[in-house]
Amino acid sequence: MRLLILGPQGSGKGTQAERISQLYGIPAISTGQLIRNQIAKKTPLGKQIEGIITKGDLIDDALAFQLVLNRIAEPDCTKGFILDGFPRNVEQAKLLAARVKLNVVMYLHVPDSLVVERISNRLTCMKCGRIYNTTSLNPKKSGICDACGGKLEKRADDNEEAIRHRLEQFHEKTTPLIKYYGTQVKRFDGSKSIEHVANEVISFLETLPQ
Q: Give catalytic residues, as residue numbers.
A: 13, 88, 122, 155, 166
CA-CA distance, 118 to 172, in Å (whole number)? 21
H/E stretch holding 96:
helix 90-97
The answer to whether 19 touches 197, Cβ cutoff 8 Å, is no
CA-CA distance, 124 to 192, in Å (whole number)? 21
Angstrom distances, CA of residue 104 to CA of 34, 41, 186: 22, 33, 8
Tell me which amino acid residue 102 is.
Answer: L
The answer to whether 10 touches 121, Cβ cutoff 8 Å, is no
Q: Are strands 131-133 and 28-30 parallel, antiparallel or unpaired?
A: unpaired
